[in-house]
Each structure stands twice: as structure tokens, then as C-alpha cells.
Amino acid sequence: MAGRDRDPLVVGRVVGDVIDPFVRTTNLGVSYRPRTISNGCELKPSMVVHQPRVEVGGSDMRTFYTLVMVDPDAPSPSDPNLREYLHWLVIDIPGTTGAAFGQEVMCYESPRPTLGVHRFVFVLFQQLGRQTVYAPGWRQNFNTRDFAELYNLGPPVAAVYFNCQREAGSGGRRMY
């Protein structure tokens, strides 16, 4: 498959570090006003303070989804010993609606990377039924794969990620 090596989730190592290869079967739209996330885009911490608007596709409201947001690069990309850090967990999201209609079981914690460029990954899973998923005990060392296996979520149905680094770490030259 020639297209797979150009898949931004593969290029950005989201597939591999966080999830296994999957086929996207549901639309997932994530936006931090006014910007809609596309894979690999760069957002500053000041842009992601408030939880994003998340829209979920699907065929009808009788299908429920779980949304996971993780940072696989915590505390730093060179030494990600807290991988993955769970930033947000919303369950029981009815198809064709959004995260606001689901149940937030781990409240949104805004990204505040201190070292290097971090990837923040949103992964969407289809649930077997309603109220079949529960919150983990802590945020650090969360494992998206194990979580999906524990709750029989199967492979992801959608995923998207953005990059974020410390506000001052903007790489370009400073103008004085």
C-alpha cells in the first residue's frame, strides 16, 4: 500500500506509539476556536486552554463512542516516561453529535508542554453499548491500546493529532 507511508498518523508516529494501524470509518472533527485540527498542525498552549469542540460522525444516535485525548510525549519527547498522559476522556457520545453530549469521566486538562514538541492525539472508539466504559485511576502512563482492549472497544474508528510546544519555543528567529 503506497498510500500508507504518507498517512500523517504513520508519519507522525501516532500509529506505532499510541495506536495500531486502523481503517477510519467515522468522521471526527476537533476544533479550538476558530481553528479546526488537521494532522500535524501546530497549536500554541494559549490556543488550547479551553476544551475543544468535538464533532462525531456515525450513522445514528443509538451508537455510542469514547473519545480519548493523550500526550505520548510526556514529560518530554526524548524521555517519554509518563507515556501516555491522559488529557481528556469522554464516553457515551451519541453518534452524529459531539463530545458535549457525552459523559466526561476525566475532565479536560489543557496541554502545557515544557520540553520539546509534543503530539496531542484524539482517538475515537465505538462502544459496544452505553455505560460500558469507566475512568482510569490516574492520568500518567495511560495506555490507549490496553484501555481499548479492557473495554472491548476494538480498533479506533478515527484519530487526529496536533503538535504543541512551550509558548516561547517557537523555533523562528526573534525580532528585536
DSSP string, 96-111: TSBGGGSEEEE-----
pTM: 0.92
pLDDT at 175 over 60: no
> Residue 4: its pLDDT value, please?
52
pLDDT at 95 over 80: yes
pLDDT at 176 over 50: no
What would the pLDDT profile of 112-148 be if each residue is shown by its tens digit?
Answer: 999 999 999 999 999 998 888 999 999 999 999 999 9
CB 128 within 8 A of CB 43: no
> Residue 1: its pLDDT value, please?
41
Alpha carbon separation from 49 to 107, 108, 109, 126 (Å, rounded): 13, 9, 8, 27
Least confident of 68-82, 86-100, 155-169: 155-169
Report how many domains make up the chain: 1
- 2 found inside a domain: no
Mean pLDDT of the chain: 92
- 98 found inside a domain: yes
- 3 found inside a domain: no
In what order do the strands lie in the sheet containing 28-32?
A: 35-36, 28-32, 53-56
- 171 found inside a domain: no
Given phi > 0 = left and psi -120 to 50 = alpha, else beta, which region is 128? alpha
Cα gap 94→112, rounded to integer Å: 30
Residue 65's domain comprises 8-165
> Residue 5: its pLDDT value, please?
60
CB 51 within 8 A of CB 30: no
> Residue 19: its pLDDT value, please?
97
CB 89 within 8 A of CB 135: yes
- 170 found inside a domain: no
Residue 173 vs residue 139, higher pLDDT = 139
56 residue type, one letter: V
> Residue 132: its pLDDT value, please?
83
Percent of the chain with pLDDT strictly greater than 90: 85
Contacts of 176 (CB under 8 A, 6+ apart): none
pLDDT at 161 over 90: yes
CATH code, domain carrying 135: 3.90.280.10
Cα gap 47→167, rounded to integer Å: 10
Least confident of 84-88, 164-168, 172-176: 172-176
Give the residue from 26, 10, 18, 104 showing the smallest Cα distance to 59.
26
Cα gap 110→50, rounded to integer Å: 7
- 176 found inside a domain: no
